[in-house]
Structure 1
Amino acid sequence: MSSDKMLTRIGGLLRQAESTDNPHEAEAFMEAAQRLASATSIDLAMARSHSASREKRASPAQRVISIGEPGKRGLKTFVHLFVSIAFANDVKCDIAHSSSQVFAYGFDSDIDTCEALYSSLLIQMVRASDAYIKSGAYRGETAVRTVTKGYGPRRRTTKEVVPVAAVTARLNFQTAFAERIGKRLQAVKKETEVKAIAEEKPDAGTALVLRNKEVELRDYYSATSKARGTWRRQSANASYSQGARSAGDRAGRAARLGGEPEIGAARGQLER
C-alpha cells in the first residue's frame, strides 16, 4: 500500500472514531490506525529492500515540526506526546531548547503517520485536561515538590508538600496522557511486527529488513543530527500530582483518533 493510500485509510478510521462515544470502540479505532501504519511501514520497507536501483529508493529525511510559540507553558508535554508517537513509528527526534520545535528524522511515510496521529491526539489531550481542570477534581489534593537551595557544597535538595495548582495538575495530566499513548502505540507496533514475521513467506526476511531499516535510520540520524545535550521533559523542581497523573493515564487509555485537521486551536498557554 502506498503512503497516500495509507493516510486516506487512516483518515477513514479517524472519522469513524470521531463518530462514536463508546470508549471501547474509540480505542479499537486508534489501535487499528496504528496497526495499519505499522503494517504499511513494514510493506514499504520490504519494497525498498527489493528496489533494483538504490538511487531510486526512498531515503530517510529530516522534517521540522512546529509545536508552539517559544515561551508558552506546557510545550514540553506537547513535545512528549509527539516523541511518544514517533518512538512507535520509527522516527527519531531532536528537540529545540525552547521545546517549540521537533526535528523529526525518518522516512517520509513514517513522519506523515506521526503528524496525523499527533494532530488528533494533541487536541484530545488538551480537551481532556481542560475538562479535568474545570471539574476541580485536583482541588484539595497535595503535591510533592522538589526544591533545591544553595550552591556548591551547601546545595541541598528537599521535598515540600504543597497544594496542587491548576498548572501543576494540567502538566501532570498531560504528561501521563502522553506516556499512556506511547505505551499503547508501541504495543500495537510490536504486535504487528511479530505477526508479520510469523506469517511471512519463506525467505522473505522481514526481520532482517526491519533491522536494516533501523540501521539505515540510525546512520542517517548520526550523520545529520547536530543535537547537543539532553532534552528534559520536566524541570528538576516540577511538582508531582498523583491524582492528575491517574486522570491523565485514564484519558490516555480512552483516547481516540479525532478527525480535526488543525492543531492550532490546542496550542493555548496554560494557566499560571
Structure 2
Amino acid sequence: MLTRIGGLLRQAESTDNAHEADAFMAAAQRLATAASVDLAMARAHTGARERRAGPVQRLVTIGEVGKKGLRTYAQLFLAIAAANDVQCDITATSTVIFAYGFAEDIDVCEALYSSLLVQMVRASDAYLRSGTYRSESTVRTVVERRGGREVRTRVRKPIAPVTARLNFQSAFAARIGARLAETKQETEKEAVSASPGTDLVLRGKALELRDFYRSTSQARGSWRGNRAPSARSTDAQRAGDRAGRAARLGTAPELPSSPRRLEE
C-alpha cells in the first residue's frame, strides 16, 4: 500500500499544476482509507483461533527540547492523524507524540507527515521572504514602572516574523487536516454504500481503538499547543491556508514503511 501511495506522491511532486497535485493528494488519501477499510473488514472476519492484529502504540519524535516551532509541527501531525483513525497524546513540550492506532494507519500518518512537514517549512520561509506580513501590526500591552507602580500601556507594534510564521503554519496544518478528512469521509461513504455491513465494521474498529487508548494512555491534563497564537496576522493566516490548499505530497523518492524518527 505504501509503495502505491509513494507512486502517487511522486506524481504530485512532478507536476506544477496545483489542481493535478490536489488530485494526486486526494488519490493518496483515498487509497489509504480504502486499504484501512479493507483491513478492518479482514480483521472482522478473522476466526477466534487465528492471530488477529490489534491497535498499537508508537512514539513519534517531533523535535528536540528547546527547538522553536514544534507546536505547529505537532499540530500538522495531529491533523493528519485525526483524518486517519489515529488517536494521539502529546508531551507538554510538543517534542513527542504517542500515537495509538492500527500499524498501517500510523504508517500512513508518518508518510504523509514526512512529506508535508518539509513543504510547510519551505512555504512559510518563502512567505517570510516576501515580507507581506510587514504591512500589518498588532496591539500589545507594555508594562512599565513609574513611581514605584506598574503602568500598562497598549501600543501598536509591527507583526514579528515569528508571529507570522506561527500563524502561517497553523493555518497550513488546519487546511491539510480538513482536506484529508473530507477525502476520508467520501471514501468511507462509498465503501459503506458498496458493501453492506461496512459501517458496523468501521464502528467496531473505532470502539476497539477507543478501548485500547483508554487502557493504555497515561496522559494527564491538556495540550496548550492547539490554542491560537496570542498575536495574529491575518495575512499570514490567509497565506498559510492557500499554501495548505495547494500543498503536494511527497518529497522523497520512496516512502519509508515505518520510520521512527521524522526528519525536518
Structure 2 length-normalised TM: 0.89
2:49 and 2:182 map into 1 onto residues whose CA distance is 32
Q: Alpha carbons of 1:222 and 1:121: their partners in 2 closer, same or farther (altered >3 Å)?
A: same
Question: How many angstroms apart in 2 are the aligned matches of 1:159 and 1:249?
Answer: 30
Q: Distance in 1 between matches of 2:191 and 2:96?
A: 34
1:52 positional shift: 0.9
How far residue 146 of structure 1 moved from its aligned partner, in angstroms, is 7.9
RMSD of equivalent CA atoms: 2.2
Partner in structure 1 of residue 239 of structure 2: 247
- Assess if the C-alpha contact under 8 Å between 1:61 and 1:106 holds in 2: yes
Using the TM superposition, give the Cα deviation of residue 238 of structure 1 relative to its aligned residue in structure 2, in angstroms: 2.1
Residue 141 (str. 1) matches residue 133 (str. 2): no
- Residue identity in the other structure for 1:210: L
User: Would you say the 8 A contact 1:75–1:100 is kept in 2?
Assistant: yes
Amino acid at match of 2:81: A
Which one-letter code corresponds to 2:92 in the other structure?
A: H
Question: Closer, same or farther in 2 for the Cα pair 1:85/1:236, shift >3 Å?
Answer: closer
Distance in 1 (CA, whole Å) between partners of 2:35 and 2:228 is 40
**What secondary structure is seen at the aligned counterpart in 2 of 1:259?**
coil
User: What is the CA–CA distance in structure 2 between the aligned matches of 1:63 and 1:256, rounded to whole Å?
Assistant: 26
Q: Distance in 2 between matches of 1:191 and 1:100?
A: 33
Task: Tell me how many residue pairs correspond in the alignment.
Answer: 250
Task: Give the superposition deviation at 1:236.
Answer: 7.7
- In structure 2, the CA distance between the partners of 1:80 and 1:53, relative to structure 1 (3 Å rule), is same
Distance 1:61 1:47 in 2: 17
Q: Pick from 75, 92, 97 the counterpart of residue 97 of structure 1.
A: 92
Q: 2:200 aligns with which of 208, 213, 230?
A: 208
Contact map agreement 1:145 1:237 (CA 8 A) in 2: no
**Superposition pairs of residues 93-132 of structure 1, within 5 angstroms:** 93-132=88-127
User: Aligned residues: percent identity?
Assistant: 63
Residue 219 of structure 1 aligns with an amino acid whose one-letter code is: D
Residue 10 (structure 2) pairs with residue 18 (structure 1):
no
In structure 1, how many angstroms separate the alpha carbons of the residues matched to 2:74 and 2:11? 27
**Runs of 5+ unmatched residues, structure 1:** 1-5, 149-156, 267-272
* Partner residue in 1 for 2:33: 38
- Residues 146 and 239 of structure 1 are in contact (CA less than 8 Å); yes or no, is this contact kept in structure 2? no
Distance 2:177 2:227 in 1: 21
**What secondary structure sits across from 2:186 in the alignment?**
helix
Letter in 2 for 1:118: Y
CA distance in 1, matches of 2:153, 2:184: 41
Gaps spanning 5+ residues in structure 2: where? 144-151, 256-260
> 1:162: Cα distance to partner?
2.9
Q: Equivalent of 2:3, from 3, 8, 28?
A: 8
**Match for 1:64 among 56, 59, 65?**
59
Note the alpha carbon deviations across 1:100-127, whole angstroms, 9 max, x for none.
0100000000000000000000001001
Contact 2:166 2:229 (8 Å CA) reproduced: no
User: What SS class does the counterpart of residue 103 from structure 1 fall into?
Assistant: strand
Letter in 2 for 1:207: D
CA distance, structure 2, for counterparts of residue 251 and residue 39 of structure 1: 27
CA distance in structure 2 between the aligned counterparts of 1:159 and 1:225, rounded to whole angstroms = 43
CA–CA distance in structure 2, aligned partners of residues 55 and 160 of structure 1: 68
